[in-house]
C-alpha cells in the first residue's frame, strides 16, 4: 500500500513539475520571465554587486493588444534591450509605457535605452527631481500623489504613500487582477533585515507600510523589489521588520 501511495505521489510530481517549469522562461543568465496571468509577466534581472553577490531584481510587464507597459526596468540598458527584443520576438509585443517606482538602477537603469525607442515614462515628481540632480536619464511625466492610466482598457493606478526604501518610492496597483507591485518598499518573506538603507526614509517607512496595508487589503499577489512574490503577508512582514 505504501509503495502504491509513493508511486502515485511521484507520478503527480512528474506531471505537475513541467507545468510549473513552463511558467518560467530563462532568457539568459541574467534575465528570466515568469508568467503570472494572461496579461501579466514578472521579469527578473540579475547583477553582481560587490559585497552582495548576484542580486535579482523584479519588475512587471502588462501586455495587451501587442503593447506592453513595463513597471521597473532591468538593471541596465543592455538587459533592457534584451527584454525588449524578447517581447518583440516571442510575443510580438512592443513596450510603449514605462513606470519606474524609484530612482535606483534596479528600477530605472534601462530608461536610457527605452527613451531611444520612444517609450513614454511616468513616475513620481520627486523621482524626476532626483534624476536631474544625479544626471540620470529623466522620465517624461510626473505626478504628486496618484496617477491613473488606462492601458488599452486595463486600469493602472500609481500611488505615492510616503517615504520608505527611498524618499520617492511609489507602488503600482493592477486592480483587474489584484496585483500590487510594491517594489523595494516591500521586503520578501525571507528577508531578516531592511537591506540597503543609504537612501531610505526609515522614520516615514512604518507609516507608509500601514497606509499600504489599509489601502490594498485584497491584494492576491504582492511583488517585492527583490525575492519571491507573495500575498499581503509581505506587507505585514515588512512592517514587523521596521518595528524591530
Decide if 196 is catalytic. Answer: yes
Decide if 184 is catalytic. Answer: yes
Indicate left, alpha or beta for 25 from its phi (over 0: left) and psi (-120 to 50: alpha): beta
- What DSSP character marks residue 23? T
Q: Which of 165, 168, 169, 188 is catalytic?
A: 165
Decide if 244 is catalytic. Answer: no
Q: Which of 72, 77, 106, 168 is catalytic?
A: 106
Q: Which of 102, 107, 168, 185 is catalytic?
A: 102
Q: Which of 43, 44, 187, 237 is catalytic?
A: 187
Alpha-carbon Rg for the chain in angstroms: 19
Please count the other Cβ atoms lying within 10 Å of the Cβ belonging to residue 154.
Answer: 18
Decide if 132 is catalytic. Answer: no
CB-based burial, 213-229: b 16+ in 10 Å, e otherwise: eebbeebebbbbbbbeb
Q: Which of 23, 132, 196, 214 is catalytic?
A: 196
Decide if 165 is catalytic. Answer: yes
Q: Which of 104, 168, 185, 188 is catalytic?
A: 104
User: From residue 100, how far is each of 12, 24, 65, 171, 189 by CA, in Å?
Assistant: 41, 23, 22, 10, 23
Which DSSP string do the residues of 212-235 spell out, in sequence order?
Answer: HHHH-TT-SEEEESSS--B-THHH
Decide if 214 is catalytic. Answer: no
Decide if 104 is catalytic. Answer: yes
Decide if 185 is catalytic. Answer: no
Q: Which of 184, 185, 188, 237 is catalytic?
A: 184
Which are the catalytic amino acids? 102, 104, 106, 165, 184, 187, 196, 226
Amino acid at each position: 500500500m505504501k509503495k502504491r501511495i509513493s508511486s502515485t505521489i511521484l507520478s503527480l510530481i512528474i506531471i505537475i513539475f513541467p507545468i510549473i517549469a513552463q511558467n518560467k522562461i530563462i532568457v539568459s543568465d541574467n534575465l528570466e520571465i515568469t508568467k503570472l496571468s494572461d496579461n501579466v509577466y514578472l521579469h527578473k534581472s540579475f547583477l553582481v554587486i560587490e559585497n552582495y553577490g548576484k542580486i535579482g531584481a523584479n519588475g512587471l510587464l502588462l501586455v495587451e493588444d501587442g503593447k506592453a507597459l513595463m513597471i521597473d526596468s532591468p538593471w541596465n540598458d543592455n538587459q533592457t534591450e534584451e527584454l525588449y527584443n524578447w517581447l518583440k520576438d516571442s510575443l510580438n509585443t512592443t513596450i510603449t509605457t514605462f513606470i519606474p517606482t524609484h530612482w535606483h538602477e534596479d528600477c530605472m537603469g534601462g530608461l536610457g535605452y527605452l527613451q531611444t525607442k520612444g517609450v513614454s515614462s511616468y513616475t513620481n515628481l520627486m523621482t524626476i527631481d532626483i534624476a536631474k540632480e544625479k544626471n540620470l536619464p529623466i522620465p517624461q511625466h510626473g505626478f504628486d500623489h496618484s496617477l491613473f492610466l488606462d492601458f488599452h482598457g486595463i486600469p493602472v493606478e500609481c500611488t505615492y504613500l510616503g517615504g520608505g526604501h527611498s524618499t520617492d518610492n511609489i507602488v503600482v496597483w493592477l486592480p483587474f487582477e489584484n496585483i500590487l507591485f510594491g517594489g523595494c518598499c516591500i521586503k520578501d518573506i525571507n528577508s531578516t533585515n531592511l537591506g540597503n538603507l543609504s537612501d531610505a526614509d526609515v522614520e516615514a517607512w512604518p507609516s507608509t507600510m500601514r497606509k499600504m496595508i489599509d489601502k490594498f487589503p485584497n491584494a492576491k499577489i504582492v511583488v517585492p523589489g527583490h525575492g519571491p512574490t507573495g500575498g499581503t503577508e509581505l506587507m505585514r512582514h515588512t512592517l514587523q521588520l521596521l518595528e524591530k
